[in-house]
Structure 1
């Protein structure tokens, strides 16, 4: 592994020259002299101990090593650019950073955000999704709303609701024979083994089928008619209202607990208080948790 990285300016000069096929054009783009670009490229080649360009008079072309490095450099610079631009979010006035899972964001929070924005237009909300549980002590996050978190240091922790799970499918699958329906498998509580251990009745689920690690994708697949799935009552609320998902039985079982973490530096701030109060009210009124869903007849 390299002990030192080449200077960033040499990589920028290399990327521009390689992309444009010209040291002169690269110099114009970066507002440098052509000799400065040439020096950067020579410095990078000396560092890597191999040529990156074929030089033929005023024209240049990439060596095989140059082509290889170009793809890597472009990805790296793009990621760096995006990361630096993202930092602007932290300087905005009235900024509120909310972390949640991609599934909760897509299937519950985003469909309700219009209501929050109408009520609190002063809040500049940044929705930051992640599969991993955030570390609130090291990440700049005001509120985390997830079904996989527990108490953390320097944070207020509160369980908001107990989700319910039930088997469901797209209405058109009801016309199929039970044995013909594909079974969709999820992870954690969305695995059919959990339904079985909680005393769930059989609805024709099979061991084989299609498998999903993300509960949001599992719900999408069920809503599109790919098969039967064990779904979250909270996340499936919109799909049921839209008529793309129906319950296969009146029975439900206990699902994951949705909770929030609120960083102590944000707990008393008006923006955080507004969001948390709104969130509690909306969750309390979620139709997916007001009793068991009625199965299709």
Structure 2
């Protein structure tokens, strides 16, 4: 079979840049130079015949479909890593398959997963994101993270955090908009997604506002709306906990933190009702610790 796949080094560099959000961090993780990562990204774009990032390379903002592809590549690399460990006869690396909603997986869980791997080197953590509409119960998993709207009674579960929704936008757009009161947000383009319907209307109601007559751009998926918000394309109602890193780094700002509405609660669950497997218990305990408000950025040790 003649498979047309890009060189492994280019894939590894690209996935690391997307996951860590930085060429410098990717270079440190892979023990190469900043220039070497940039060279591999350029080689991958040349192989594909198209760009993966926006034209302004100082920001290194990935294009939306590049983010989706990187998530797929991450799963493939995890599988390759696990199978290679088995071929080496490394019995210490036990795979632990975790599935989680797309935004939570890519923006919160995966950036923190290295903490777990550092603490538990005998467990090969494999994170797979799920999209709205997928039947996640048909996907192989040891641990699943779901919202309270999607909890099967047949599986044991534990709540890890309750989400809050807030209006957010890029610092650049906020500086241009001259926001003083909540009603000023209606001067901007508002962003929404079909997968999170009703969240914009709920925030506007909490702020005693009506969106009638306001320009609203609706995207099919939240991650596309989020990329638009990060790029300064409008204001978006965002999950405050899930995007904690983006707020902490200043990629997003929250003009009115006093106006938040309740979002879904997230729960961790597993299949075995009789006895919790030891590796699952370790991950659940770690996840609860990471979900604590006392923990900060994904780059901070736990």
Q: What TM-score range do you get, normalising by the shorter chain?
A: 0.5 to 0.7
Task: Please state how far the C-alpha of 1:272 moved relative to its aligned partner.
Answer: 0.7
Q: Does 1:191 align with 2:199?
A: yes
Unaligned runs of 5+ in 2: 5-74, 87-92, 178-183, 297-302
Matched, 1:264 2:267: no
Whichever of the two has the greater Rg, that structure is 1
Structure 2 CA distance for partners of 1:286 and 1:224, relative to 1, 3 Å: farther
1:51-76 CA-partner distances (Å, limit 9, x unpaired): xxxxxxxxxxxxxxxxxxxxxxxxxx
User: After the TM superposition, which residues 141-290 of structure 1 pair with which residues of structure 2 at under 5 Å, given as runs?
Assistant: 141-147=141-147, 148-153=149-154, 155-177=155-177, 178=184, 180-187=187-194, 188=196, 191-197=199-205, 199-202=206-209, 207-249=214-256, 250-264=258-272, 268-285=276-293
Q: Distance in 2 between matches of 1:205 and 1:223?
A: 24
Counterpart CA distance in 1 for 2:288 and 2:165 is: 20
Distance 1:287 1:211, change over 3 A: farther
Q: Distance in 1 between matches of 2:275 and 2:222?
A: 30
On the 8 A contact 1:186/1:218 being kept in 2, the answer is yes
CA distance in 2, matches of 1:280, 1:206: 43
Unpaired runs of 5+ residues, structure 1, are 1-11, 20-81, 289-297
Alignment RMSD, CA only? Answer: 3.4
Decide whether the 8 Å contact of 2:157 with 2:270 is kept in 1: yes
Shift of the alpha carbon at 1:204?
7.6
Residue aligned with 2:156, SS: strand
Secondary structure of 2:122's counterpart equals coil
CA contact (8 A) 1:168 1:247 kept: yes
How many residues were matched structurally?
Answer: 207
Query: What is the CA distance between 1:89 and its match in structure 2?
Result: 5.8
